[in-house]
Structure 1
């Protein structure tokens, strides 16, 4: 159930979009954000100094709650950290520049979940869609309620559905730039497995993600990312069986493809 958008006590969300040369997809992302029925949010765009028409497209879709910072940066996670530093909302989340919300009520669903002060964080499900046809589902990332030890089994929530109170970032830190491909997984691991923040799982699709992101664009990057995840587990002193980690990863990935035709819920 979506939060009451007219209630001034409802949580304010800082939604961050990091982008660089995304003229093919940014308009879809902006339309998806501007169509949200929940309106108590700010939209922060961190652009890495785009050289194509990305900034012109953003300028053609002005919104009172939207701000843009464009400058050369050191990559996606450094840009995300900039966005966190600029955020003024109670809750912080990210929508990538080639992703869209699943429905016009996605932010309202997040706000309703975190209207309960008992929780520090929420996350939901995600569907991967075709680059050219975003209505064509390719993989269904069905998540589940967190239990300690899950990260050692290759599990993590879909980061584009991951919304956290700003106070959690202030207490436990931002993205660790030593992880070039898995800083998002390491951050969620740090928050859930190490800090044991209080989480609630929303059993529905919140975001549509196009295939072909930096991490998943080739087998080499997928391998490098998972090696970084294993390094993060070791860095945090979390016990892991490498063979079981890979086994669970493979089973989970196959399950995403088998679920691709399922509806949300």
Structure 2
């Protein structure tokens, strides 16, 4: 089973090498690694090119943002399974892809997801937040549940059948895609009960009231676009679920 991993990056020279190494050091032997760059000017291109043919496909050109770049990578992918890993982030250990493939095969699933941790941007040993996705139950999205986006691996056929990321939803594009795949179209889903992704703190934040209200509105649009009807409290349970992520501690990293 060939796996395509896509990294999108723009001016990510500070951390992109960590991301690349975490993918190239995976134990799984059949990985197609694709990097989509938004025409970086900070040395990112030189870093990526220094890996030569170990990176199967490299594109560097202007894009319309993160999700447009992800869509480019998905269209280029030839693997049976597709995963996404942003340039600031990395896999927690070198058997993540091996374990993911084993999970898909064992459960005969269309997609799999795991847990994530958020760490200090410069001190990755300092854990700030633990996103334990937990086991999926039908209609869990109505209760504010969603898996961590970067921990989500899906067969390429799911993208071909149900579509790519929408570019009109800003930071809610990942939520809408998983809502569409999982809740609306009921892809067969498997849970990897382990931390798969390490994310550096940063990026788009929903910490302010203004940002939370904007995210709330985007979430509502995601349901409307899919012809789905949420509960009146669905959009408020989603951010409330995050509170426990700041107090729960993750399991130790496997040796």
Q: When the two structures are superposed, what TM-score results if normalisation uses the length of structure 2? A: 0.93
Of 45, 58, 75, the match for 1:85: 75
Name 2:123's counterpart in structure 1: 133
Aligned partner of 1:53 among 35, 43, 55: 43
Pick aligned residue for 1:68 from 58, 66, 89? 58
Tell me which of 241, 245, 255 is aligned to 1:256.
Answer: 245
CA–CA separation in structure 1 for the residues paired with 2:107 and 2:136: 18
In the alignment, the residues of structure 1 paired with residue 34 and residue 208 of structure 2 have an alpha-carbon distance, to the nearest angstrom, of 29
Offset, 1:261: 5.3
More displaced stretch, 220-229 vs 196-205: 220-229
Q: Confirm or deny that 1:162 pairs with 2:155.
A: no
In 2 relative to 1, CA 218–99 (structure 1 residues): closer, same or farther, beyond 3 Å? farther
Distance 1:244 1:197, change over 3 A: closer
Q: 1:88-167 counterparts in 2 under 5 A?
A: 88-116=78-106, 118-167=108-157
RMSD of the TM alignment (CA)?
1.9
Q: State how far apart, in whole Å, the 1-side matches of 2:249 and 2:217 are.
A: 27
Which stretch has the larger CA shift, 173-182 or 15-24? 173-182
* Higher deviation after alignment, 26-35 or 58-67: 58-67
Which whole-Å deviations, capped at 9, do the CAs of 1:46-89 have from their partners, x for residues lacking one? 00110111111112233434321000000111111100100000
Task: State which drifts further: 167-176 or 210-219.
Answer: 210-219
Query: What's the CA shift for 1:254?
Result: 1.2
TM-score by length of 1: 0.90
Q: CA deviation at 1:251?
A: 3.5
How many matched pairs?
254
Instruction: Quote the Cα distance in structure 2 between the aligned partners of 1:216 and 1:62.
Output: 38
1: distance between equivalents of 2:217 and 2:201?
A: 21
Contact kept? 1:138, 1:260, Cα under 8 Å: no
- Unaligned 5+ runs, structure 2: none
